[in-house]
Amino acid sequence: MVTKSVFHLRSRNNHIFLPKVFPPRPMSASLYIVIEGIDPGFDTFVNGRALAQYEDDLDRLAAELKARPLLDFFSADANSMALLEEEGYKLPHAAESLPPPQWYSAEDGLNTISTLVEYLELNPTFLGEDNVAIRKELEEYITVLEKAAAKNLRWHLAVSWR
């Protein structure tokens, strides 16, 4: 049975763990792509809200399919931590104690995302009524990562709460 999860930050590389205690006002998480450098020369917007809701399920699916889990590409940076503090999280000195951002090849991300898309296309009821929205978001990721790969740019996932 697939269940929507409450998103939590976790990173095997950065060892950043946030409590699942949310600020008083309702928020929704979104996973988005950060491209290394100032301006990659193309639009990097991806929605990522459905992916954030199903991140646990997608990571388990990737593991079953022998693909790298999507959240292995997550990296926190000082800007992410500052945004969380603005949204009401109490994270004293978190931004100062972060390791440098981790960057990943676009090809590695494309391998994982393409594997997930192929499975969801073959199993359209796997994530219930949200299957289509998740596939659409994954396809947005493919578009951005293909452009990054063409320019040999690296990337990582980040999270936004709104």
DSSP 139-151: HHHHHHHHHHHHT
Does the residue 1 lie in any domain?
Answer: no
Q: Is residue 10 part of a domain?
A: no
For residue 146, what pLDDT is reported?
98
Specify the pLDDT at position 25.
40
Q: What is the pLDDT of residue 31?
A: 93
The pLDDT, as a whole number, for residue 142 is 98
Q: Note whether residue 124 is domain-resident.
A: yes
Q: pLDDT tens per residue, the chain (162 residues)?
A: 444 433 334 434 433 334 333 344 445 789 999 999 889 999 999 999 999 999 999 999 999 999 999 999 999 766 666 666 676 666 666 556 677 889 999 999 999 999 999 999 999 999 999 999 999 999 999 999 999 999 999 999 998 876
Q: What is the spatial distance between Cα 15 and Cα 19, in angstroms, rounded to a whole number? A: 13
Per the structure, the complete domain to which residue 126 belongs is given by: 29-161
> What integer pLDDT is reported at residue 81 of this predicted model?
66
Number of domains in the chain: 1
